[in-house]
Amino acid sequence: MDKTNKKPWFEVLEDRFNTLMSKFDMPEDISHEIYNFVFQISKEQYIRGNNSGISWLRKQMRGEGKPTAEPIAA
């Protein structure tokens, strides 16, 4: 596993974003606007996915619906 995979997803995204902005020599003000746009959407999607996963888990624990996967032991 390389170093990229050991970083949290947010840091990987940030590194890739910074590399892209450098590659195209984006002005700082434009880069900042794009950064805010990309990372706000990323945060929203992460929260939605997390809430959806929590909801699914709670339903499984209450016995609603059929389990779609075996539980993972810690």
Give the per-residue pLDDT at 69: 62
Residue 72: band (very low, low, confident or very high) from pLDDT cuts 50, 70, 90: low
Helix (H) or strand (E) holding 21: helix 9-23
pLDDT digits (tens, 9 = 90+) for 33-47: 999 999 999 999 989
pLDDT digits (tens, 9 = 90+) for 20-71: 999 999 999 999 999 999 999 999 998 998 888 888 888 888 887 665 666 6
CA distances for 71 relative to 35, 48, 57, angstroms: 37, 22, 10
- For residues 35 and 28, what is the distance between their CA atoms, to the nearest angstrom? 10
